[in-house]
């Protein structure tokens, strides 16, 4: 009986020691991750690399915050001349954002050289980053690519891209902002 009592005491004592030690254990502190805009556009209060809230602004409101050349492409669906944009022939690693609202659109890993004169991608960042609508302007049938957050004109989508998607997102450089991975 004395042995059983000693075993029980030893068992309960071990249990309480382990339990007490567990109570003093400090959990690792969680650090808040604060992501700031990678690009500073002080004249544009709608620009954010993190906010995904849909924007519904009038063209007059956009005209106040966008440079004229960006406004003409993004709000009036004009197109920059081929081989003139700053990203058509770039192969630096990084992320492409909407120049009007800062929405994340593409990673450089989805960019390819299409020789069309505009930056081309085979895949968008996520299913909501870009939306599409039929475009019958200039007596052509095309698919217009629009920013999923602000609705700004980015370019067009074609079915002549490389694997794995077979898509070519043909974008206007002026409609894009780029942040290199090393920043």
Contact 67, 9 (CB under 8 A): no
Count how many Cα atoms sit within 13 Å of the Cα of residue 129 in the half-sphere of its side chain: 19
Contact 88, 173 (CB under 8 A): yes
Rounded Cα distance, 140 and 83, in Å: 22
Q: Distances from the Cα of 169 to the Cαs of 88, 122, 127, in angstroms?
A: 12, 6, 13
Contacts of 44 (CB under 8 A, 6+ apart): 65, 66, 100
Catalytic residue, from 98, 147, 150, 170: name it.
Answer: 170
Apex CA 48: angle with CA 161 and CA 86, to 5°? 45
Q: Is 170 a catalytic residue?
A: yes
Which residues are catalytic, by number? 170
């Amino acid at each position: 009986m004395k042995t059983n009592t000693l075993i029980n005491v030893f068992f309960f004592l071990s249990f309480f020691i382990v339990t007490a030690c567990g109570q003093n254990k400090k959990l690792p502190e969680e650090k808040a991750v604060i992501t700031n805009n990678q690009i500073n556009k002080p004249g544009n209060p709608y620009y954010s690399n993190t906010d995904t809230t849909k924007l519904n602004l009038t063209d007059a409101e956009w005209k106040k915050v966008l440079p004229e050349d960006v406004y003409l492409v993004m709000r009036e669906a004009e197109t920059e001349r081929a081989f003139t944009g700053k990203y058509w022939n770039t192969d630096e690693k990084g992320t492409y954002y909407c120049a009007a609202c800062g929405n994340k659109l593409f990673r450089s890993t989805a960019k390819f050289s299409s020789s069309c004169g505009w930056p081309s991608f085979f895949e968008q960042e996520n299913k909501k980053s870009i939306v599409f609508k039929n475009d019958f302007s200039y007596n052509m049938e095309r698919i217009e690519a629009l920013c999923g957050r602000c609705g700004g004109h980015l370019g067009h989508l074609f079915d002549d891209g490389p694997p794995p998607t077979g898509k070519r997102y043909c974008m206007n450089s002026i409609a894009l902002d780029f942040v290199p991975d090393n920043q």
